[in-house]
Amino acid sequence: MKVKERQYQAGQVIFVEGDMSNNAYLVKSGRVDIVRRHRGERRVLQSLQSGDIFGEMGLMLENIRTADAVVMEDCVCYVIDHAELNRQLADSPRFVQGLVRVLSDRVKRMNDKMFDS
């Protein structure tokens, strides 16, 4: 699998809600918070660290970002782009491809529902 390694500084925003989903990320080191704004208030959905993946839902669903990714501690991430992810999925059985998409969609709908109230 072809991935790029990218460094981010504390306070840097990797992506914001509404951006197009072009990449997924694997945290190699440091910490990244996934944040969503709701009624003028910022809510941390997840705090991610080494070994955690983020940005995959939008990439799988070919959708826009539904939250912000903010670097809380200097970090290094492995970055996989849409084309590479599709190459990897093409080698997977159709069942796995469908399962990943369904699970991504369910998580997105749960997140949306949580913020609709």
Every domain of the chain and the residues it spans: 4-116
Confidence (pLDDT) at 88: 73
For the chain, 117 residues long, give each residue's pLDDT as a single digit of tens: 678 999 999 999 999 999 998 898 999 999 999 999 878 888 998 999 999 989 887 777 777 898 999 999 999 999 988 888 777 777 776 656 676 676 677 666 766 766 665
Confidence (pLDDT) at 91: 74
**Which residues share a beta bridge with 80?**
24
SS3 50: coil
Confidence (pLDDT) at 40: 82
**Dist. CA 81–CA 2, nearest whole Å:** 9
Torsion 95-101-104-110 (CA) sign: negative
Confidence (pLDDT) at 111: 65
Confidence (pLDDT) at 33: 97
46, 63, 81, 110 from 3: Cα distances, Å: 23, 21, 8, 29
The whole-model pTM stands at 0.77
- The CATH architecture one would assign to domain 4-116 is Sandwich (2.60)
Beta strand 41-48 with 13-15 is unpaired
